[in-house]
Amino acid sequence: MKRNTFRKISTMLVIAVFAVNFSGCLKQTTIPKSAVSLEFWGVFDDSTAYNNAIDEYRKMDSIVSDIRYKKFNVNEYRNDLIDALAAGNGPDIFMINSAWIPDFENKIAFAPKEVFGEKEFRDTFVDVAANDLLSSNGEVMGTTLSVDSLALYYNKDIFNAVGVTAPPKTWEEFVDIAKKTTRISDTGDILQSGAAMGSVNNINRATDVIDMLLFQNGVSLPQRNNGIVNLNQTIRTKDDTVSGGSNALEFYTRFANSNSPTYTWSSDESMHYSLDEFYEGDLAMMFNFSWHYETIKSKNSKLNFAVTTIPQLNPNSPANTSNYWVLVVSKNKIQGDSGSGVAVSNETRTLEAWQFLKFLTAKNNGQFGLINPLTGEKVTYTMSSDPAKDYVIQTNKPAARRDIIEEQKNDPFLGPFVQGNLIAKSWIRNNSDSIESVWGDVVSEINKGGTTVGQGLNIANTRINNFLTK
């Protein structure tokens, strides 16, 4: 081979190798259409609740090829989710209960501030959602379509039979009606209960009712993770200064105390579970969330019942509590092959997932701005719907957005729940399931006479703080 020919070939090889290595260092300048595919996990909702929103979003965002929703059984969901995230094959978007937020905080990607900022979030959603879903730095950790708070379910036929013309607005009225509507046999058995209050083991969402009473009694519970509780905070009543926690716990447990004039409920097996007692027609009042309305209707379509707002200890400082599901984005996931042949960065995947969640939940005013993952340029599209409003209409759920709550306030079913959303409070704690078990143990001991309310409160305070600091 001639020397000049050899030099030309060598030079071309060097240039080719350099070009390959250098191109690997260049930032990707384009993302092909349909490069991102998003998987969305949830509970309760069927895919029909999201199909229209997904279809409209895909018409706007050409980078997203598909958004696939998968429904799970709520009883198995948390374990399935944790296992999938640990194995690295979890979803891009998933639901968590509002009480799980501290346990999942290190597994979720917060919203890019250019997508969803603190002020817009606070202006859009009820205060309890902002309390739960904004980090200490004001970053949006998750978003939601619906918030649920407690309301009072009551049996109208039982009320009518004893001459009660309206549901209670105060706790004094609640106690009076509970006594009037309770029937006890000569042997001490409760034949008809005025109120499902007093125990934990056979009352649905009893610990939420206890939280609600604590908030109404002025107990300040931690608003950030790793805080501690002081259930013995003092409050001033009309006549004295008392422990807010003791006041709440004594009031709650008196309904299961057979020696109390307000005895309406038994913690033993003689009473059915509260939901069963209610749809069977043997319970006058119970506190619960909106999702059990359809449960009751399906069990007994002829039951004459209604819902109303909960009584308040201090009408000038009303309080309720919430329990709802949150939409979040997985922090890390390798984007599967969408057919584009281009690897998509985790940053791009996160941005696309969060843009869809904002599209799904936020107020849009007929327009929605999409951010290009590479250039940061925002393009505004015209929207033909309001996905969050469509969702609550289709599912008949109480809204999380303030503007939709304004439309639901006068609804005979949803009204009490959305009014509760406006005054709902929550507290941030890890190990929420373990903390619920603490209340179960303490209330059970009080019911059995094994401990006093004061002693039980101190035990609860110590054990809860042990879980909070783990």
In a domain, 330, yes or no: yes
CA torsion, ordered 459, 321, 122, 403, to nearest 10 deg: 180
In a domain, 408, yes or no: no
212 shares a domain with 118: no
Phi, psi of 371 (to 5 degrees): -95, 130
CB within 8 A of 66, min separation 6: which ones?
34, 37, 38, 58, 338
The pLDDT assigned to 17 comes to 38
344 shares a domain with 306: no
The pLDDT assigned to 15 comes to 38
The pLDDT assigned to 130 comes to 96
In a domain, 268, yes or no: yes
For residue 371, what is the domain's CATH number?
3.40.190.10
158 shares a domain with 113: no
> Of residues 332 and 421, which shows the higher confidence score?
421
The pLDDT assigned to 223 comes to 77
123 shares a domain with 55: yes
Give one DSSP letter per residue of 119-152, joined into a string.
HHHHHHB-HHHHHHHB-TTS-B--B-SB--B-EE
Segment 199-205 shows an average pLDDT of 96
pLDDT in tens, 65-123: 999 999 999 999 999 999 999 988 899 999 999 999 999 999 999 999 999 999 999 99
Lowest mean pLDDT among 7-16, 174-183, 280-289: 7-16
379 shares a domain with 275: no
Segment 346-368 shows an average pLDDT of 95
Helix (H/G/I), strand (E/B), else coil: 54: helix
In a domain, 18, yes or no: no
Tokens 């259409």, residue? 33
Of 402, 420, 439, which one is at a domain's C-terminal end?
402
pLDDT in tens, 363-402: 999 999 999 888 889 999 999 999 999 999 999 999 999 9
Say how far apart CA 109 and CA 113 lie, in whole Å. Answer: 12
The pLDDT assigned to 448 comes to 94
Q: Compute the Cα dihedral for 414, 417, 423, 425 and give only its sign.
A: negative
356 pLDDT higher than 80: yes
Lowest mean pLDDT among 18-32, 237-251, 264-278, 433-447: 18-32
- Using DSSP bridges, classify how beta strands 305-308 and 151-155 pair: parallel, antiparallel or unpaired: antiparallel
How many structural domains is the chain composed of?
2
305 shares a domain with 439: yes
Of 384, 402, 420, which one is at a domain's C-terminal end?
402
The pLDDT assigned to 237 comes to 66
The pLDDT assigned to 126 comes to 98
pLDDT in tens, 216-273: 999 988 877 668 899 988 877 667 777 899 999 999 999 999 999 999 999 887 899 9
In a domain, 290, yes or no: yes
State which residues form the domain around 216.
151-319+431-468
Q: Per 3-state DSSP, what percentage of the chain is helix, strand, and coil (rounded to 5)?
A: 45, 15, 40
Mean pLDDT estimate for the chain? 90
Residue 422, burial from CB neighbour count under 10 angstroms (0-12, 13-18, 19+): middle
Of 348, 382, 402, which one is at a domain's C-terminal end?
402
In a domain, 411, yes or no: no
Segment 303-312 shows an average pLDDT of 98
Segment 26-32 shows an average pLDDT of 51
Say how far apart CA 306 and CA 308 lie, in whole Å. Answer: 7
The pLDDT assigned to 333 comes to 74
In a domain, 463, yes or no: yes
Q: What percent of the chain has pLDDT over 90?
A: 78
455 pLDDT higher than 50: yes
- Quote the Cα angle for 265-267-273, to 5°: 80
14 pLDDT higher than 80: no
pLDDT band at 30 (very low <50, low <70, confident <90, very high): low
377 shares a domain with 282: no
158 shares a domain with 139: no
Closest CA to 425 of 348, 310, 339: 310
